[in-house]
Amino acid sequence: MRYQYLLIPILLLFTACGGGGAENSVMNEAEELKSETDFKHSPKTVTIYIHGYQKEGYIKEQNYGEAWDYNFTNQLSEFTELPLLETYDKDNFSNIITAVEYYGDQAPEYYTQADIDEIEGVTTKYGGGIPRYAMILAKFTKHILEETGAEKVNLVSVSMGSLITRWMIEKDIENLASNKKIEKWMTAEGVLRGNYGLSKVDDIGIAWIKESVNSFFEDSAETQHMKYRWIEENLTPNRESMSSPYYSDILVGQISLTDSEKEHAGLKYIMMQEDFQPNDGYQLVKDTYFGSIENSLQVPTHTLMHNDHIGIKDNDSILLIISNFLEAKKRVRITLLDATITDIHETITVLNEDTETVFESKIFSENAKIQTPISERVYDSGTLNIYSYKKDNETKNINQIIFEDFVSPTESTLQVTIEGYEIDRSTKYGISEIKTDKKESMGESINSIRLENGTYPVSADDWSGHVKVEVLEM
């Protein structure tokens, strides 16, 4: 079957509204789905997990480039009921799950001398770090394809693992991308565009904040490679853009995390002296997804979850999102089209000409056996768009995507929860009408929405509107 999003690139808009707030919002606008691009599921694939940054990983004394036993791959295997590399039936499989260890100082047995020379060469050129790890990942990928007889791989990367994966794809290491050996790539909390804390730490003037940020990282090649400038000089001058032609053959999914309030959050210290930017404690939200799309098989999916950078591993919804993406049979987009507010919760005066309103959303699977949302675009994240209303019973076009991802083929409905808030003061949204942070709920709409193309009404105490559902069967 052939599918395409009409509007490519997708517009990930950051609308200006002073201070923090709306300029940090994530609003996806895309026209309706239409058939144009081929996507064929390979009958045999291997899914490779690429882990993130480890503070002392670069000095580990062990074999690199080997399959590794990570708790996450065990969880994913159990959740998806897909076999691990260690236990699969070579004569009867459709997808295998494994992980690669890129840290280490000793080559694996399957390396030739030429492989070792290449690793040493890239290490000498760049000091190790991202290019070294990407080459290790590529050689492991090629080896696993040969060993299993699988046609293609799926890549699931987290944190720094996403920058490693991006380097491998865009540099076409081992010709994997040009030979179309990569079917899908899911990046979660990824260092796609770089890391803000590492990029800013040299400019921090307050000593204790600088020391606090540095305490989370070792001074190593990989921490240098996560800086914006290094990426622009060595990988691409357009960090935010999905511009490599190799993405035209890869289905890409993205997960961004938005909980910045945990005590262990490294970026918390930097935000003490700057305007707030949505983040997960270590990564700015905007650095975890592609901001513009120039080449793609389909516009990437993009899910927001209200977890912190460390807490993602404890969320079963993440496993469900990845599982649905790997299956990639049914893609759904839900958009809040419009909203009419019957009570704006504000007295309009010459000094206060309108009310600032946001719409929070949470999406739940009614088919899966988990109670947590599979998409969360919530008030506390600071990512929501702000809409201005001047009077009661006013209607605004919203066009805010609240869900953009795959679901199980058997999923026929989703629970869609939307709550409107009128904001009086918020440091995250740059609003300061009163002295203390305050918001007022305009009511919560909870609906079981059919996954059929169409428009459906939603309503709450002080507002009502419509959501649009678009479904692609793949």
Reported as a single tens digit per residue, the pLDDT across 327-366 is: 999 999 999 999 999 999 887 766 677 889 999 999 999 9
pTM: 0.91
The pLDDT of residue 201: 76
CA distances from 249 to 8, 50, 86, 397 (A): 15, 20, 29, 35
Report helix, strand or coil for 96.
strand
> Could you tell me if 269 and 213 are in contact, meaning their C-beta atoms sit under 8 angstroms apart?
yes
Planar angle of CA 342, 332, 163, nearest 5 degrees: 110
Query: What DSSP letter does each residue of 432-473 carry, written as one string?
Result: ESSSS-EEEEEEEEEEEEESSSEEEEEE-SSEEEEEEEEEEE
Q: What pLDDT, on the 0 to 100 scale, is given for residue 28?
A: 54
CA dist 329 → 182, 208, 324, 408, 472 (Å): 17, 50, 8, 7, 8
**Longest Cα pair distance anywhere in the chain, in angstroms?**
77
- For residue 432, the model assigns a pLDDT of 79
* Environment class of 125 (CB within 10 Å of its CB; exposed 0-12, middle 13-18, buried 19+): exposed
Residue with tokens 């945990």: 262
Per-residue pLDDT tens for 221-250? 999 999 999 999 999 999 999 999 999 999
Which domains are delineated in the chain? Answer: 40-327 (3.40.50.1820), 334-473 (2.60.40)
Residue 117, classified by CB atoms within 10 Å of its CB into exposed (0-12), middle (13-18) or buried (19+), is: exposed
- What sign does the CA torsion over 77, 79, 82, 88 have? positive
Closest CA to 133 of 38, 199, 54, 222: 222
The DSSP-derived string for 22-62 is GGG--EEE---EEEEEE----SSEEEEEE----TTGGG--S
Q: Supply angle C-alpha 83, 89, 91, rounded to 5.
A: 135
Check residue 13 and give its pLDDT.
31
Do the Cβ atoms of 474 and 329 come closer than 8 Å?
Answer: yes
In this structure, the chain runs to a length of 474
Per-residue pLDDT of the chain (474 residues; tens, 9 = 90+): 334 333 333 333 333 333 344 456 665 555 565 544 568 899 999 999 999 999 899 999 999 999 999 899 999 999 999 999 999 999 999 999 999 999 999 999 999 999 999 999 999 999 999 999 999 999 999 999 999 999 999 999 999 999 999 999 999 999 999 999 999 999 999 999 999 989 987 766 556 566 766 667 778 999 999 999 999 999 999 999 999 999 999 999 999 999 988 766 677 767 767 788 999 999 999 999 999 999 988 899 999 999 999 888 778 999 999 999 999 999 999 999 999 999 998 877 666 778 899 999 999 999 998 889 999 999 999 999 999 999 999 999 999 999 999 999 999 999 999 999 999 889 899 887 665 668 999 999 999 999 999 999 999 999 999 999 999 998
Contact 255, 187 (CB under 8 A): yes
Sign, CA torsion 221/227/230/231: positive
Alpha carbon dihedral 138, 139, 145, 151, in 10-degree steps, equals: 30
Place of tokens 């058997």: 410
**Residue among 97, 43, 50, 79 nearest 365 (CA):** 79
Cα separation of 404 and 388, whole Å? 25
Alpha helix (H) residue ranges in 287-419: 316-327
